Amino acid sequence: MPEYRRDPGTGSLHYLEFGQGEPLLLLHGNGADAQLYMPIMAALSPHFHLLAPDLPGHGFSRGVRPATTAAYLDLIETFVRTHIQGPFRVIGHSLGGLVSYHLMRRGLPISSAVWMEPAIFELRPLLKALLPLYAKGYANSLHYRPEVLRHLRSLSYNPAQADPVRVAAFVEAYMRSCRKVQALWLREYPQFLPWQFEDLQLPILCIRGVKNTFISRATTALVPRLPQAQEVILAEAGHCLLNENNRALLQEILGHFGKEVPERHAHRVSQSEPVLAGSALSVLEAL
């Protein structure tokens, strides 16, 4: 399996690299790191050249602390241009989905994407006004291990069946993540609205878990607004998706990217409903 390397382009980000084939960028979610994708890397590696950075403020890149989301995205764009020449595919989970949205808006040559419960949703007017204040308080506090465990369990489909090794790895990654960088996305999130989806003329597969949460409902509501999107609901999966129903997840990813896979087991729906974030905590958990 891959080992971490320091990115020569940014000089600061660390990343995992594995496999052969066309390039596939893997972007993890808030509090995690690139090792989130370990459960599916081996299966993807015969088809793709995998590039999975630890995002700023996370994992081995936790010391990288950009002052704005624009500077954060500059780092990711530099990483991509250092390692990839020409079109590439992307998988983004939660915050990683939001990051890939911004990369698309910047014109990077992304040919197709998989968004796993992306942190892309609307905000109530009051929350839109209060979120920057909440972010300030969040940045100046500390991670609390029992709360991180509660957070993970609330998003999982069945915490009792989760791989304890992967759970422990996620908790440790979250405890090391930089709250100031996490708060950066909370503070600037209102500036991303209104969303600009009309230019995203590429196939996007939006995958959500069957567990009914704010972010899963937001994923369902997002799909009809994207020019070329499909939705898949994975059985026996919550927000994390990875390390929950990996076989079905891999089938959907490989199928979307045009690779031969066995018969699929995931359930597709096309209905949508309006979703508004109810609290600052909802936004944080969605990231």
Kindly calculate the radius of gyration of the chain based on its CA atoms and give it in whole angstroms. 17
For the stretch 102-156, pLDDT in tens is: 999 999 999 999 999 999 999 999 999 999 999 999 999 999 999 999 989 999 9
Q: Both tokens of residue 263? A: 């018969």
More confident residue, 220 or 161: 220
- If you average pLDDT over residues 270-287, what whole number do you get? 51
pLDDT computed for residue 261 by the predictor: 66
More confident residue, 125 or 162: 125
For the stretch 166-186, pLDDT in tens is: 889 999 999 999 999 999 999
- If you average pLDDT over residues 237-241, what whole number do you get? 94
- Predicted confidence band of residue 282 (pLDDT cuts 50, 70, 90): low
Strand duo 48-53 + 14-18: pairing? antiparallel
pLDDT computed for residue 1 by the predictor: 73
pLDDT computed for residue 273 by the predictor: 42
Peptide bond into 194 cis (omega under 30): yes
> Does position 63 have pLDDT exceeding 60, yes or no?
yes
Architecture of domain 5-286: 3-Layer(aba) Sandwich (3.40)
Residue 67 phi/psi, 5° resolution? -85, -20
- Do 280 and 186 meet the contact criterion of CB atoms below 8 Å apart? yes
> Does position 195 have pLDDT exceeding 60, yes or no?
yes
pTM of structure: 0.92
Quote the distance between the C-alpha of residue 238 and its chain's center: 14
For the stretch 74-111, pLDDT in tens is: 999 999 999 999 999 999 999 999 999 999 999 999 99
> Does position 231 have pLDDT exceeding 50, yes or no?
yes
pLDDT computed for residue 260 by the predictor: 73
Amino acid at 186: L
pLDDT computed for residue 33 by the predictor: 98
Q: Both tokens of residue 15? A: 């990343």
- What distance in Å separates the CA atoms of residue 271 and residue 274, rounded to the nearest whole number? 11
pLDDT computed for residue 53 by the predictor: 99
Average pLDDT of the chain to the nearest whole number? 92
pLDDT computed for residue 229 by the predictor: 98
More confident residue, 271 or 8: 8
